[in-house]
Amino acid sequence: MSLGKRAVILGGSIAGMCAAGAVAPYFDEVLVLERDIIPADAEHRRGIPQSKHPHFLLNSGRRAMDDLFPGFEDALLDAGGLHMMASLAAAHCEGDYWVPRKEAPMTMVYASRLLIERTLRDRLATVPNIRVEEGINIEGLETVDGGQPGGRVTGVWVTGGDGGRERRLVEGDFIIDTLGRGSNVSDWLVNAGWPEVRVQSLDAGVTYVSRWYQKPADLPAEWWWAQMSVMPTADTNPHPIEHDFLCQIFPIEGERVLVTMGSWGHPMPRKEEEFLETVSKVRAPAFARAVAMCEPISKVFVTKSTGNRRRRYDELANPPAGLVVIGDAVCGFNPFYAQGMSSAAKSSVLLREKLAAASSVDEAFVKDYFGAQRKLLDEIWTLALARDQGYANAEGTDIAPAWRQKLAYKAAWPVFNFISATTREDAVVGQHFADVFNLDESVTTMIKSPRVLAGFAWFGLKKMFGRTKLPMGTDNQLDPPSDIWRDWKPTPGGRALVIPKGTPVQDIPSVSSAEPIAAVSASASNQAKAG
């Protein structure tokens, strides 16, 4: 069923492409207006500064993209994306330990933003009624009865493209704003007669820096991992500021890694020499040793545009008919939490579902969509602000009271480490946590679950009395051990199954549910510190 002749998408990045895929079945033509000239290969461009930094494609996001563009995920993996179980693929440091390596329900696809976007663009090109115009500047909106009941957006004014510098009107029955954080659409609506859209914000002063590296051709034995992460210290006593950094060695296609360090409120290195000096001070020495083995292939890239910002279109009493907003243009999150792409893709799937039941894209449709989108974004927003509200330097409308800031600052990383340790012991809690991380479940649902609360309480008791299934970890001053653990119990009759280092996961013998055993090596048994 056609809901109109033309849908116009403002912006052609991931949010714009997802939106185009969502509306394509319901309009005769979908026109994507993109400011940049898109390079033929996967290359950085002005409109996507975040492409220089790591991107996690969460499970819910990649499923949504695959739903919108069937075959997307297979194409991404064929192009070099890496689908891995993080708990086995990563050397992960929390507190003073490398956490035990074991199987867990959470998986993810590792790839550069460049590859994700290029793969999505290739899928977009296979949809016959989607057309992309490049080099287009969006100059304003064309509206009718602005601010009045039934008022609507009927098109956009543009320059560039085949029309050159001449200002021209592109008419559309449905307009979707995916212009990102810098979108002027809300201002243009005010000029046309609609009330100002309320903006929520919280900026914790997060800055992060990244540099691209080529991995060595011959990896040493101690480099068994694909990813390395060193979490900020939970220590509130005086310590080097570098211990507050969240540090990642992030694998991408082409045997390359992105080395990224980020902080809340601290200055970050901007020059190559400063970057290497900071790397040398990361609190787990294996991080610096690994970086030293790699060959740098880029300069240092810096990002400070990390504030959480949400435009509340859902609060408009008479929203403009024929206009919806998706992606960072409606809700931009701190990129550290890897929620942006998945949020945009999920919002696009929601839009497609609403269009399937619609007879028109009138004011009632827009109001209904923004209301449903609000529910989707509320939980993600809460999750993003939970950490950022814990800093006294935070600015914006959603600053927490001073007492809550202090509590969040002191408790955030210890609580995270406790939850993380519980997930390694309790499969049910682990599944809930994986679902929350991947935006498949709200954090509210998780923390209200009696089973999850019981799991936390039981793990706390076991930890207190030294009866946990797994050790808390191994000394982070050493190289992370490659040992794969399974349901170890510190009992006199416990047995250990020794798995040689480097054994592929599929070759590990299955474990009988009736007789828990461990998959460990001698080195793990000697190094592990029971919790």
CATH of the domain at 156: 3.50.50.60
Predicted pLDDT of residue 492: 39
Contact 81, 74 (CB under 8 A): no
Asked if residue 323 belongs to a domain, the reply is: yes
Of residues 504 and 109, more confidently modeled? 109
Round to whole Å and give the CA distance between 438 and 326: 19
pLDDT of 510 reads 36
Q: Which two tokens stand for residue 416?
A: 């995270």
Check whether residue 188 and residue 246 sit in a common domain. Answer: no
Q: Are 10 and 31 in contact (CB under 8 A)?
A: no
- Whether residue 234 is found in the same domain as residue 149: no
For 169-204, what is each residue's pLDDT tens digit?
999 999 999 999 999 999 999 999 999 999 999 998
Q: Which of 59, 22, 116 is nearest to 439 (CA)?
A: 59
Amino acid letter for position 251: P
At 34-67, the pLDDT tens digits run 998 877 765 655 656 577 888 888 899 999 999 9
User: For residues 48 and 115, what is the distance between their CA atoms, to the nearest angstrom?
Assistant: 13
Longest Cα–Cα distance in the chain: 82
Whether residue 393 is contained in a domain is answered as no
Tokens of 290: 């690994």
Phi-psi region of 487 (alpha: psi -120 to 50; beta: other; left: phi over 0): left
Give a yes or no: residue 85 inside a domain.
no
Q: Give the span between the Cα atoms of 469 and 425, in whole angstroms.
A: 6
d(CA 201, CA 185): 18
The single-letter code of the amino acid at 83 is H
Give CA–CA dist 69/333, Å, rounded: 24
**Do 172 and 154 form a contact (C-beta atoms < 8 A)?**
yes
Together in a domain, 155 and 260: no
Same structural domain, 293 and 316: no
Residue type, 33: L
Residue with tokens 């294996």: 286
For residue 15, which of 176, 156, 134, 188 has the smallest C-alpha distance?
Answer: 176
Residue 390 has pLDDT above 50, yes or no: yes
Can you give the pLDDT at residue 513?
A: 27
**Is 531 in contact with 468 (CB distance < 8 Å)?**
yes
State how far Cα 428 lies from the chain centre.
23
pLDDT recorded at residue 496: 37
Do 228 and 321 have their domain in common? no
Last residue of a domain, one of 442, 460, 478: 460
Task: Write down how long the chain is.
Answer: 531
* 516 belongs to a structural domain: no
Average pLDDT over residues 457-470: 91
pLDDT above 80: residue 168 = yes
pLDDT at 47: 58
Q: What is the pLDDT of residue 387?
A: 77
Average the pLDDT over 285-299 and give the result: 97
Give the domain-ending residue among 460, 487, 506: 460
Q: In the structure, what pLDDT confidence band is assigned to residue 523 with cuts at 50, 70 and 90?
A: very low
Q: Which of 439, 502, 466, 425 is nearest to 57 (CA)?
A: 439
- Identify whether 178 is part of a domain: yes
User: Given a cut of 60, is residue 507 above it in pLDDT?
Assistant: no
* The pLDDT of residue 43: 60
Quote the CA–CA distance of 334 and 208 in Å, as a whole number: 11
Cα–Cα distance for residue pair 229/215, rounded to 1 Å: 16
Q: 212 and 180, same structural domain?
A: no
pLDDT per residue as tens digits for the range 233-273: 877 788 888 998 999 999 999 999 999 999 988 889 999 99
Alpha carbon distance 297, 289 (integer Å): 17
Answer yes or no: is pLDDT of 490 > 70.
Answer: no
- Whether 192 and 223 share a structural domain: no
List the single range of 112-126, 165-179, 226-240 with lowest mean pLDDT.
226-240
Same domain for 287 and 220, yes or no, is yes
What is the rounded average pLDDT of the residues 511-522? 30
Q: What is the CA radius of gyration of the chain?
A: 25
User: Do the beta carbons of residue 195 and residue 147 sit within 8 Å?
Assistant: yes
Residue 132 domain flag: yes
* pLDDT at residue number 45: 58
- What amino acid is encoded at 200 in this protein? Q
What sign does the CA torsion over 215, 221, 226, 228 have?
A: negative
Q: State the pLDDT at residue 107.
A: 85
What is the C-alpha to C-alpha distance for residues 133 and 41, in angstroms, rounded to an integer? 17
Among residues 381, 343, 302, 470, the alpha carbon closest in space to that of 61 is found at 343
| pLDDT of res. 56 | 80
Residue 428 counted as domain residue: yes
Crossing angle (nearest 10°) for helices 14-23 and 340-356: 10
The CATH number of whichever domain residue 259 belongs to comes to 3.30.70.2450
Tell me the torsion sign for CA atoms 65, 43, 129, 189.
positive
- CB 488 within 8 Å of CB 509: no
Count up the domains in the chain and report the number: 3
The token pair at 358 is 């619609």
**How do strand 97-98 and strand 474-475 relate by DSSP bridges?**
antiparallel
Least confident range of 141-155, 186-200, 421-435, 507-521: 507-521
Please choose, from the candidates 401, 261, 244, 234, the residue with its C-alpha nearest in 3D space to the C-alpha of residue 336.
261
- Cα separation, 101 vs 459, in Å, equals 18
Whole-number average pLDDT of the chain: 87
pTM: 0.88
Across residues 497-516, what is the average pLDDT? Answer: 39
Are 241 and 356 members of one domain?
no
Tell me the residue type at 294: C
Domain that holds residue 181: 6-40+124-201+307-338+349-385
Q: Is 258 exposed, middle or buried (0-12, 13-18, 19+ CB in 10 A)?
A: buried
Are residue 214 and residue 193 in the same domain, yes or no?
A: no
Domain presence at residue 489: no
Task: Judge if 35 and 148 occupy the same domain.
Answer: yes
- Are 212 and 293 in the same domain? yes
